[in-house]
Amino acid sequence: MSKYKMHLLVCGGTGCHSSESYRLYETLRDQVEKRGLERDVQVILTGCFGFCEKGAILKVMPDNTFYTQVKPSDAEEILDEHIIKGRRVHRLLYTNPETEEHVPDSKQMDFYRKQLRIALRNCGAVDPENIDESIARDAYQALGKALTEYTPAETVDLIKRSGLRGRGGAGFPTGLKWEIAARNGADQKYVVCNADEGDPGAFMDRSILEGDPHSVLEAMAICGYCTGASKGLVYIRAEYPLAIKRLKIAIGQAREYGLLGEHILGTDFSFDVTLRYGAGAFVCGEETALIHSMEGKRGEPSNKPPFPAQSGYLGKPSNVNNVETFANIPVIILKGAEWFSAIGTGRSKGTKVFALAGKINNVGLIEVPMGITLREIIYEIGGGIKNGKKFKAVQTGGPSGGCLTEKHLDTPIDYESLTAAGSMMGSGGMIVLDEDDCMVSVAKFYLGFIVEESCGKCAPCRIGNKRLHEALTRITEGKGEADDIDRLRNLGTVIKDTSLCGLGQTSPNPVLSTLDNFMDEYREHVHDRKCRSGQCRGLLFYVISKDDCIGCMACRRVCPTHAISGEKKGVHVIDQHICIKCGACMEKCQFDAISLRNDYPRATAAAAVQEESSTHS
Partner 1 sequence: MNGIKTLADLKRKQEEVMSRMGQRNRGENPESLVQVKVAMATCGIASGAKEVMEYFMDELDRKEIDAVVTQTGCMGYCFAEPTVEITLPGREAIVFGYVDIRKAGEIIERYIGEGELLDGIIPQNYNTI
Shortest Cβ 84–partner 1 spacing (Å): 8
Strands 351-358 and 429-434: parallel
Shortest Cβ 216–partner 1 spacing (Å): 18
- Which of 36, 85, 99, 592 touches partner 1 (CB under 8 A)? 85
How many CB atoms lie under 10 A from the CB of residue 523? 13
Shortest Cβ 150–partner 1 spacing (Å): 13
Shortest Cβ 40–partner 1 spacing (Å): 9
For position 259 contacting partner 1 by CB under 8 A, the verdict is: yes
Nearer to partner 1, 79 or 564 (CB): 79
Shortest Cβ 136–partner 1 spacing (Å): 4
Q: Which stretch binds partner 1 (CB under 8 A): 48-56, 256-264, 388-396, 442-450?
A: 256-264
The 8-class DSSP code of residue 290 comes to H
Shortest Cβ 190–partner 1 spacing (Å): 25
- Extract long-range pairs of 569-578: CB within 8 Å, 24+ residues apart: 571/544, 571/546, 572/544, 573/544, 574/541, 574/542, 574/543, 574/544, 576/541, 576/601, 576/604, 576/605, 576/608, 577/608, 577/612
Coil/strand/helix, residue 11 = strand
Shortest Cβ 147–partner 1 spacing (Å): 8
Nearer to partner 1, 127 or 524 (CB): 127
For position 73 contacting partner 1 by CB under 8 A, the verdict is: no
For position 335 contacting partner 1 by CB under 8 A, the verdict is: no
Cβ(24)–Cβ(71) under 8 Å? yes
- Which of 30, 98, 132, 338 touches partner 1 (CB under 8 A)? 132
- Which of 125, 337, 365, 515 touches partner 1 (CB under 8 A)? 125
Alpha-helical regions (H) of 212-358: 213-227, 241-257, 287-294, 323-335, 337-341
For position 89 contacting partner 1 by CB under 8 A, the verdict is: no
Cβ(396)–Cβ(402) under 8 Å? yes
For position 266 contacting partner 1 by CB under 8 A, the verdict is: yes
Q: Which stretch binds partner 1 (CB under 8 A): 144-152, 205-213, 390-398, 434-442?
A: 144-152
How many CB atoms lie under 10 A from the CB of residue 547? 6
Shortest Cβ 468–partner 1 spacing (Å): 48
Nearer to partner 1, 146 or 327 (CB): 146
Cβ(332)–Cβ(355) under 8 Å? no
- Which of 4, 307, 379, 600 touches partner 1 (CB under 8 A)? 4
Q: Residues 236-255: x/- map of binding to partner 1 (CB under 8 A)?
A: -----------------x--
For position 258 contacting partner 1 by CB under 8 A, the verdict is: yes
Whether residue 369 is preceded by a cis peptide bond, meaning omega within 30 degrees of 0, is no
For position 87 contacting partner 1 by CB under 8 A, the verdict is: yes
Could you give the CA distance from residue 206 to residue 48 in angstroms, rounded to a whole number? Answer: 10
Q: Exposed, middle or buried, 78 (CB in 10 Å: 0-12/13-18/19+)?
A: buried
For position 137 contacting partner 1 by CB under 8 A, the verdict is: yes
- Which of 53, 133, 212, 414 touches partner 1 (CB under 8 A)? 133
Could you give the CA distance from residue 179 to residue 308 in angstroms, rounded to a whole number? Answer: 13
For position 62 contacting partner 1 by CB under 8 A, the verdict is: yes
Q: Which stretch binds partner 1 (CB under 8 A): 55-63, 174-182, 185-193, 514-522?
A: 55-63
Nearer to partner 1, 218 or 287 (CB): 218
Q: What is the largest CA-CA distance in the chain?
A: 95
For position 269 contacting partner 1 by CB under 8 A, the verdict is: no
Alpha-helical regions (H) of 461-560: 465-476, 484-498, 502-506, 509-517, 519-523, 554-558
- Which of 148, 151, 490, 604 touches partner 1 (CB under 8 A)? 148
Strands 94-95 and 190-195: unpaired
Q: Exposed, middle or buried, 296 (CB in 10 Å: 0-12/13-18/19+)?
A: exposed
For position 151 contacting partner 1 by CB under 8 A, the verdict is: no
For position 136 contacting partner 1 by CB under 8 A, the verdict is: yes
For position 147 contacting partner 1 by CB under 8 A, the verdict is: yes
For position 140 contacting partner 1 by CB under 8 A, the verdict is: yes
Coil/strand/helix, residue 513 = helix
Query: Count of residues binding partner 1 (CB under 8 A)?
Result: 37
For position 256 contacting partner 1 by CB under 8 A, the verdict is: yes
Cβ(416)–Cβ(363) under 8 Å? no
For position 265 contacting partner 1 by CB under 8 A, the verdict is: yes
Alpha carbon 178 to chain centroid distance? 26
Could you give the CA distance from residue 16 to residue 18 in angstroms, rounded to a whole number? Answer: 5
Query: Helices H, strands E: what count in the chain?
Result: 26, 19
Contacts with partner 1, residue ranges (CB under 8 A): 1-7, 9, 42, 61-64, 84-87, 125, 132-133, 135-138, 140-141, 144-145, 147-148, 253, 256-259, 265-266
